[in-house]
Structure 1
Amino acid sequence: MTVLRSLARHRLFWPAAVMAVLLALNVALTPSFFSIQVRDGHLYGSLIDILRFGAPLILVALGMTLVVATRGIDLSVGSVVAISGAVACLWISELPEQNSVAGVLAALGIALGVALVLGLWNGFLVSVIGIQPIIATLILMVAGRGLAQLVTGGQIITVNSGPYRLLGGGYWFGLPASIIVALGMVAAAALLVRRSALGMLVESVGGNPEASRLAGIRSRRILVVVYAWCALCAGLAGLMISSNVSSADGNNAGLWIELDAILAVVLGGTLLSGGRFSLGGTVLGALLIQTLTTTVYTLGIPPESTLLFKALVVTAVCLIQSPAFRARLSRRRRPPAPTAGRSQRDAATEAEVTA
């Protein structure tokens, strides 16, 4: 019993428990849910689909984690997703040969470069100008969507490039390429923040900015690096999304993905008040949201009710994950202790009358 209580107090216990419940529900509805098949040397199955379609959200949430750890927020990641995909597809569509590997690599580099510049702009507004993160990134959230529409000319740009399609819809070593890219970025982020001083500096700036300043930490540089990293992850996710459908939609690409990313970060145990963060928890939160989406489709819930269903489940997870909520719930269930000088029978009778 003590072991179970200690596990329940872990910040990742309840998201993992809800994930297990969702997977069990999918297995009950579809007995072959866990089956993985090999076709032409490629892996297929529902679990593979969850990882493949959840890869862009993992990338965006990965960048959002470090931003939230510094007491910030980035609402512009959805617009960066749209801009990145639009720039890459526009460049490829104007190539004489769209299957040119060099041309595709140039398109990827330019798109990621634009995303990096947008992240540096967010970091400049937050750290140098001193604008609140929610306002600074809201500016790019609105203007960036218009910029994506300007790049695409208000139309959907369609490309027919095999090398570009490989990033989001292709396979490497039998696995979807998007999964490998996401795992590589998670590994790179883990090495960056856990094998160097960057992670400690990020937690210091987010946990106590004033103490960090007195300790000589240059928080402005940390903030710029963090927002640039977040935009870079969002730009890569945008390339992945547009590559998967071989087109760029400046209006709908990455729409509201920033909200799912924030939810994934919170479900993963990172507090919005800044400080300590968990990359593994963020990955778990992103996979939980993608599994929830898959469950919605499996249950056959009408599309107009999908967002409401997801909101209810996420709210329930956040509540049971909250130690304060669980403590308050347990206090209500626990009967009051007998009052000194009175019999236990009288105290129990009074408790029943009060109830």
Structure 2
Amino acid sequence: MERKDVPPAPASPPSAAPLPAARPPLSQRMLAHPLLWPLLALALLLLGNAVFNPGFLALQWRDGHLYGNLVDIANRAAPLALVSLGMTLVIAVRGLDISVGAVLAIAATVAAWSIARMQAGGAGDGLLPLLAAVICALGAATLCGLWNGLLVVKAGMQPIIATLILMVAGRGLAQLVADGQVLTIYYAPYAFLGNGFLLGLPFSLFVVAAVFAGLKLLLERTALGLFVRAIGHNPVAAHVAGVRARAITLALYVFCGFSAGLAGLLVSSNVASADANNAGQLLELDAILAVALGGGALAGGRFSLAGSLVGALIIQALTTTIYAAGVPPQVNLVVKALLVTAVLLLQSPRFRGQVRALVSRPAAGGGA
């Protein structure tokens, strides 16, 4: 048979390129930003203090150091900020660590005990006791985090139960190390950690900045941040997808213990003593509040390192405000709870939607 050439089919007209999605207005993007309400709460606290105390926001440069209430708030919030960073990552993978206060007490006590033993052995005031104290304290805190992680990952315990064990027993261990005494630290190099200045700013702020920058790079420049969010949203699906969920969760518990140990070094060096019974009391609750204030989801999956730092600053600024206003100490927790409730409600999209619906309802009814 003779093959006939089939005329080519007419070319279809080129399809129109999809229009780019309209970008929301700047005001809407700002209202949707997770850090807006925490930053607004912090700003209102600071401005409120400035209204009643005109010199509250003043900064002074004296003897090569920067002084002022803002510097004091940031310096005093440094231990809580460190613990909050560790708590942020643990909560992000659906975990919880309520033993961080006890771990802080253990690290502080081990550091004070190490310095006392080194000085008794003739080490003097050199840097060797400082090195021994830092290594021993951080090593003990890291082992505490490893213990919590093994109970959660390997033994399959609920995080709150697994860490409750160390929360109860940790202070007992610290008291055994201290022989039931409050250990005092007379050692100038160690005091620099909590009271020293570098480039005019408290050294503790550089410790927080270094930990924050390291975590930020690790979570954003590697796949770790994606893995953490995947584990928090759905641990089973993350495991099926090849994510080493157990190993990552264990590592995050270890880091949480490490961060509490760093906080213990700052606290004990600031007060030149280690009180195993009282150091870090209720710190775990403040750390959880800081994570929640910063926009982290307690159900896991969503977290913000910067938000947790802002949350720690809010808590410390609130404490400073309460003391400056002469509010009785027994009212401190009530006021803190009210502020936290207000900020969390403002962060809730559902609550804001209900408020908008309630406000717009009378207007809609009047127009009809």
What TM bracket, shorter-length normalisation? over 0.9
Counterparts of 2:346 and 2:93 in 1: how far apart (Å)? 25
Task: Report the equivalent of 2:197.
Answer: 171
Alignment of structure 1 residues 153-232 onto 2, 5 Å:
153-232=179-258
Write the letter of the residue equivalent to 1:22.
L
Match of 1:80 among 103, 106, 114: 103
Question: Contact 1:38/1:44 (CA < 8 Å) preserved in 2?
Answer: yes
Task: Report the equivalent of 2:48.
Answer: 25
So what's the TM-score if we normalise by structure 1?
Answer: 0.93
Match of 1:308 among 334, 343, 353: 334
Alignment of structure 1 residues 41-80 onto 2, 5 Å:
41-80=64-103
Counterparts of 1:133 and 1:50 in 2: how far apart (Å)? 31
Residue 136 (structure 2) pairs with residue 113 (structure 1): no
Counterparts of 1:199 and 1:238 in 2: how far apart (Å)? 27
Residue 296 (structure 2) pairs with residue 270 (structure 1): yes
Q: Indicate the larger mover: 226-235 or 310-319.
A: 310-319
Q: CA deviation at 1:205?
A: 0.9
Match of 1:283 among 305, 309, 313: 309
- 1:86-145 deviation line (CA, Å, top 9, x unaligned): 000011122234522112111110110011111111111111111111110111111111
Moved over 4 A (4+): none
Q: What secondary structure is seen at the aligned counterpart in 2 of 1:334?
A: helix
Give RMSD over aligned pairs.
1.7
Counterparts of 1:242 and 1:160 in 2: how far apart (Å)? 11
Counterparts of 2:174 and 2:333 in 1: how far apart (Å)? 25
Alignment of structure 1 residues 296-335 onto 2, 5 Å:
296-335=322-361
Q: CA deviation at 1:284?
A: 0.9
Counterparts of 1:253 and 1:149 in 2: how far apart (Å)? 11
- 1:140-170 deviation line (CA, Å, top 9, x unaligned): 1111111111111221000100010000111
Show structure 2 runs of 5+ residues with no match: 1-23
Task: Report the equivalent of 1:353.
Answer: none
Q: CA deviation at 1:79?
A: 0.4
Question: Contact 1:92/1:98 (CA < 8 Å) preserved in 2?
Answer: no
Counterparts of 2:174 and 2:248 in 1: how far apart (Å)? 28
Counterparts of 2:321 and 2:352 in 1: how far apart (Å)? 26
- 1:30-60 deviation line (CA, Å, top 9, x unaligned): 1112211122111110110011000001000
Residue 293 (structure 2) pairs with residue 293 (structure 1): no
Q: What secondary structure is seen at the aligned counterpart in 2 of 1:254?
A: coil
Q: What secondary structure is seen at the aligned counterpart in 2 of 1:335?
A: helix
Task: Report the equivalent of 2:38.
Answer: 15
Task: Report the equivalent of 1:132.
Answer: 158
- 1:201-254 deviation line (CA, Å, top 9, x unaligned): 111111111111111112110011000000000000001000001100001100
1:195–1:156 CA distance, 2 compared to 1 (3 A): same
Counterparts of 1:179 and 1:260 in 2: how far apart (Å)? 19
Q: CA deviation at 1:14?
A: 1.0
Q: What secondary structure is seen at the aligned counterpart in 2 of 1:38?
A: strand
Q: CA deviation at 1:332?
A: 2.1
Counterparts of 1:166 and 1:121 in 2: how far apart (Å)? 30
Write the letter of the residue equivalent to 1:65.
T
Q: CA deviation at 1:177?
A: 0.9
Residue 230 (structure 2) pairs with residue 241 (structure 1): no
Counterparts of 1:98 and 1:205 in 2: how far apart (Å)? 49
- State the percentage of identical aligned residues: 52
Q: CA deviation at 1:2?
A: 5.1
Larger radius of gyration: 2
Q: CA deviation at 1:336?
A: 6.2
Counterparts of 1:138 and 1:165 in 2: how far apart (Å)? 31
Task: Report the equivalent of 2:174.
Answer: 148
Q: CA deviation at 1:3?
A: 3.5
Q: What secondary structure is seen at the aligned counterpart in 2 of 1:43?
A: strand
Question: Contact 1:119/1:232 (CA < 8 Å) preserved in 2?
Answer: yes
Aligned residues: 342
Q: CA deviation at 1:337?
A: 8.3
